[in-house]
Structure 1
């Protein structure tokens, strides 16, 4: 059982991570300072490096936490289910991903992840691997068209969901994200579900 001190330390870390994720998503990594995170979290500025070592350490911890949240949000059922139910869960996962606060963070930090020598490049690869992996495992339960692998279709679906989200973030008044997801669902359903489902 955790001591009171350990519990307080954990609570402080969580407040810092939540505040940092919000600020990185809103302002970007480079524009966010420890002072910003301290003000948003209510935790002293000096405590942040004590918990995470450096700003880069804080960023990596934020991304690690975000990957864990995505994994939990896309959890798969223990029991086998009908293809239609599996497909519905897959598309519900796409909807949930669009609505996750952390998804904006991934879009905001993408440019930094692409820079040579970026400390978050590996985490971004892991995030995309996680998304494709969940999608692929769902697709492996469905009757896919001949010549279409679950791996390739997972790349297409996750790419479409990420692209819809990016367009919506840039111009929410011009992009109907819900309509685009519904269209994606209809297209994928016509390819993977038996006629009449």
Structure 2
């Protein structure tokens, strides 16, 4: 039951952090949502920051699993994965975390830095398999693409009626292709 309790706590915390934010979510809230005792949280995670780290790790692992199916993946496949990931309710957590992590003294800051590092690493793993045009570095392109995805995600979370994800990601794919950035299977 230990692994099951841990899973239930991570799922409940993911949903609650996305709905309410990290600071406004209590152990009592997580225990009530998960059906697992409040005392199990520090036992499994050491505290609220440890639980947040587990939530972020779980989301990154799920994204990595989705990205791993794109070997090497076309631009459209990668952007399709990003569209699905953007629509997932749990990714609302990223927008909430950014606001809370912006404060230099926030315990969330390092968690969010780690999240960005992990996501950039996922994008970089895809980008390094692409033939890039002269003057385009893989590290910099990874940062640009992640920035675009984060910006699209945040705009869509705030005003979903104003942002058509499918068309927006199709436009991003067209821009990549026009710059000569294509996966071998795009040709």
1:74 aligns with 2:67: yes
Deviation (angstroms), 1:171: 0.8
Number of residues of Structure 1 aligned to a counterpart in Structure 2: 184
Of residues 83, 97, 100, the one that matches 1:95 is 83
Equivalent pair of 1:87/1:138 in contact (CA under 8 Å): no
Aligned equivalent of 1:4: none
Q: Over aligned residue pairs, what C-alpha RMSD do you find?
A: 2.2
Normalising by structure 2, what TM-score?
A: 0.86
Of residues 88, 95, 104, the one that matches 1:107 is 95
Unaligned runs of 5+ in 1: 1-7
Equivalent pair of 1:113/1:124 in contact (CA under 8 Å): yes
Normalising by structure 1, what TM-score?
A: 0.82
Deviation (angstroms), 1:86: 4.1
Q: Which has the larger radius of gyration?
A: 1
Equivalent pair of 2:76/2:170 in contact (CA under 8 Å): no
Deviation (angstroms), 1:153: 1.3
Aligned equivalent of 1:117: 105
**Cα distance between partner residues in 1 of 2:59 and 2:70:** 21
**Cα distance between partner residues in 1 of 2:151 and 2:82:** 12
Of residues 48, 51, 72, the one that matches 2:41 is 48
Deviation (angstroms), 1:141: 2.3
| Higher RCO (C-alpha under 8 Å, 6+ residues apart) | 2
Aligned equivalent of 1:13: 6
Unaligned runs of 5+ in 2: none
Of residues 164, 168, 172, the one that matches 2:152 is 164
**Cα distance between partner residues in 1 of 2:129 and 2:37:** 49
